[in-house]
Amino acid sequence: MSIDIEATINERIKKIPFFSIQVDESTDVSDVPILLVIARYLNVNELEENLLLCYPLTKRCTGEDIFNATQGYFCGNEIDWSKCCGVCTDGGKSMSSCYKDVVVQNSRSSCSLEPLLHPQTKFNREAFA
């Protein structure tokens, strides 16, 4: 069932013109860092918010690790970075350094990361904040 839900969300994101993500890293009760990526998008005139990715990270939880996990999921599921109109984080150290890693990794990536650095869209951004 969860595979069907994930596939449905991924298909919706592929069809829409833009979406935003909220990225958070947290540690569970067994001391394993977990990356959560929540997607917000417009679906039939309704703003939806769904868990896109829940991924265990290594003990070394850097911005690069966070970026690589997100990048791997997006590319593996053919989600286009150019549709990402915004990224929200909690401002923690690993999240803040993620932006530096986005710039460094941009040259190595086959996906477009421009929306993360300079988000541009005709849609009202306040709806995604």
User: In whole angstroms, what is the distance from residue 78 CA to residue 76 CA?
Assistant: 6
pLDDT at 114: 47
pTM of this structure:
0.71
C-alpha pair distances (Å), 75 with each of 33, 70, 111:
22, 9, 7
For each of the chain's 129 residues, which pLDDT tens digit applies? Answer: 477 889 999 999 999 998 988 888 888 888 888 889 999 999 988 999 999 999 888 766 777 788 888 889 999 999 988 888 877 777 666 555 555 554 444 344 444 444 444 444 444 444 444
pLDDT at 113: 46
Burial environment of residue 67 by CB neighbours within 10 A (0 to 12, 13 to 18, 19 or more): buried
pLDDT at 115: 44
pLDDT at 89: 75
User: In whole angstroms, what is the distance from residue 32 CA to residue 71 CA?
Assistant: 20
pLDDT at 61: 75
The neighbour count for residue 116, using CB atoms within 10 Å, is: 20
User: In whole angstroms, what is the distance from residue 30 CA to residue 19 CA?
Assistant: 32
pLDDT at 64: 77
pLDDT at 81: 82
pLDDT at 52: 92
Do 88 and 21 contact (CB within 8 A), yes or no?
Answer: yes
pLDDT at 66: 82
